[in-house]
């Protein structure tokens, strides 16, 4: 009986030890798994990613050191694989890293960077960063960035940013003409729908060309326009509603994506035989019924000059127009744009803040 009791006691202690050992083993295993999970989360996906991260960090150096030069060459070589981390670089607190990241994204010219560069162009506080973002969008030839570049070319406070945006728009225009297979010299105007950036309209003589894939391919609406178009704008909330300034014929509008057009000239003086033109159109993004146009006339025989005739506004979607005292009659306004509820005009390289009725 005593032997049996001792045996049971030993067996009970052994079972407790086994339980303790098993529990400790399980705890150790859980700790190892947890540590592995932490390491997996903290460790970059690959050596290549680690290298790209190191090279992007070198872009924070404002001086063009040998290490930064090497980093830039390596980032160009890896190309599109570097885009995600360069986009992160655009959001850095370091202005040099943002500027150099935008620059590298231009050299790589991947469409994957378009939205991030558009955001940088609109919101970055440093002119040098915005300038590089505008240049990069031109290298990408991003039709989806046309509206951001147009706004920057008119309203940005920095002349270097405005110039960079204008240069990029010129490159995009050349690309669009090539994709549409038309002579660029015959392009009257082009525009991208604010609410549908891949929808692009381009005019040549009386033809309207339409792209629904960001300017890669076009279909032609032959002789859809009443005459040569000098300015084109799209309702920011309705991509099928277009407004066109037509040479010697005033303003026209289309509600069906350019298939048919209607004259909107109530309140606009049209002089028969005069080469009057609408040089710019701006639609209020908050209220598309509010539209502003700049007008002028070409005069001369051997030497033809453009003479501005002023601004007009409409508050009923172009059904009627009223002349404004905004701006100056000696300033030929080539472009108009809204920013933060304010209307601006571009005359040469001067930005005009235009007083408009409320």
- Residue-level pLDDT at 70: 94
Say how many C-beta atoms besides its own lie within 10 A of residue 65's C-beta: 11
The reported pTM is: 0.81
Cα–Cα dist 344/274, whole Å? 27
Spatial distance between the Cα atoms of 201 and 176, rounded to a whole number of angstroms: 10
Give residue limits of the domains in the chain: 1-43, 49-140, 187-354
3-state secondary structure of 46: coil
C-alpha–C-alpha distance, residues 161 and 149, integer Å = 10
Pairing of strands 242-246, 207-211: unpaired
How many whole angstroms separate alpha carbon 146 and alpha carbon 165?
Answer: 9
Q: Which residues pair with 353 in a beta bridge?
A: 344
CATH number belonging to the domain at 187-354, selected among 2.130.10.10, 2.40.50.140, 3.40.50.720, 3.30.70.20: 2.130.10.10
User: What is the spatial distance between Cα 103 and Cα 134, in angstroms, rounded to a whole number?
Assistant: 10
Dist. CA 201–CA 188, nearest whole Å: 11
Instruction: For residues 27 and 19, give the distance between their C-alpha atoms in angstroms, rounded to a whole number.
Output: 12
DSSP 23-55: HHHHHHHHHHHHHHHHHHHHS-S-HHHHHHHHH
Residue 347: predicted pLDDT: 87
CA–CA distance, 44 with 84 (Å, rounded to integer) = 14
- pLDDT tens for the chain, 358 residues: list them: 434 443 444 445 445 555 544 454 444 444 444 444 444 444 446 888 898 999 999 999 999 899 999 999 999 999 999 999 999 999 999 999 999 999 999 999 999 999 999 999 999 999 999 999 999 999 999 899 999 999 999 999 999 999 999 999 999 999 999 999 999 999 999 999 999 989 999 999 999 999 999 999 999 999 999 999 999 999 999 999 999 999 889 999 999 999 999 999 998 888 777 788 899 999 999 999 999 999 888 777 778 777 778 899 999 999 999 988 655 556 788 899 999 889 999 988 889 888 665 5
Predicted confidence at residue 29, as pLDDT, reads 42
Strand partners, 337: 344
Q: Is-contact 335 165, C-beta < 8 A?
A: no
Output the six-digit token pair for 350. 């001067």
3-class state of residue 279 by DSSP = strand
Question: What pLDDT is stored for residue 358 in this prediction?
Answer: 58
Query: CB–CB of 135/105 below 8 Å?
Result: no
H and E: helices and strands count for the chain? 9, 15
Q: What is the pLDDT of residue 356?
A: 66
Q: What angle, rounded to 10 degrees, do the helices at 95-108 and 66-78 form?
A: 40
Pick the closest to residue 226 from 195, 178, 188, 197 (CA basis). 188
What is the reported pLDDT for 16? 53
Q: What is the CATH number of domain 49-140?
A: 1.25.10.10
Q: What pLDDT was estimated at residue 2?
A: 37
State residue 235's pLDDT score: 96
- Residue 303 confidence (pLDDT): 80
pLDDT value for 43: 47
């Amino acid at each position: 009986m005593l032997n049996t009791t001792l045996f049971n006691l030993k067996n009970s202690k052994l079972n407790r030890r086994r339980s303790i050992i098993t529990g400790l083993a399980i705890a150790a295993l859980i700790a190892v798994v947890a540590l592995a999970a932490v390491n997996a989360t903290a460790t970059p996906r690959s050596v290549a990613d680690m290298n790209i991260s190191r090279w992007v960090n070198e872009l924070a150096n404002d001086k063009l050191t040998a290490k930064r030069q090497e980093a830039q060459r390596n980032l160009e070589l890896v190309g599109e694989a570097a885009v995600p981390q360069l986009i992160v670089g655009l959001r850095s607190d370091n202005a040099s890293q943002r500027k150099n990241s935008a620059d590298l994204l231009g050299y790589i010219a991947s469409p994957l960077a378009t939205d991030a560069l558009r955001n940088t162009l609109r919101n970055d506080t440093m002119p040098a960063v915005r300038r590089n973002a505008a240049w990069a969008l031109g290298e990408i030839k991003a039709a989806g960035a046309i509206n951001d570049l147009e706004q920057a070319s008119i309203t940005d406070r920095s002349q270097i940013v405005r110039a960079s945006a204008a240069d990029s728009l010129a490159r995009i225009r050349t690309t669009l003409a090539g994709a549409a297979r038309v002579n660029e010299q015959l392009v009257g105007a082009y525009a991208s729908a604010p609410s549908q950036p891949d929808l692009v309209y381009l005019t040549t003589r009386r033809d309207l060309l339409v792209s629904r894939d960001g300017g890669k391919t076009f279909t032609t609406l032959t002789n859809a326009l009443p005459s040569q178009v000098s300015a084109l704008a799209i309702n920011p909330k309705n991509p099928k509603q277009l407004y066109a300034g037509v040479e010697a014929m005033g303003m026209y509008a289309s509600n069906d994506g350019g298939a048919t057009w209607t004259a909107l000239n109530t309140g606009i003086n049209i002089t028969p035989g005069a080469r009057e033109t609408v040089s710019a159109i701006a639609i209020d993004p908050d209220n598309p019924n509010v539209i502003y146009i700049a007008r002028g006339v070409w005069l001369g025989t051997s030497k033809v000059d453009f003479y501005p005739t002023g601004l007009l506004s409409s508050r009923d979607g172009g059904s009627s127009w009223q002349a404004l005292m905004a701006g100056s009659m000696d300033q030929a306004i080539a472009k108009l744009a809204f920013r933060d509820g304010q209307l601006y005009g571009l005359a040469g390289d001067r930005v005009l803040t235009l007083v408009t009725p409320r």
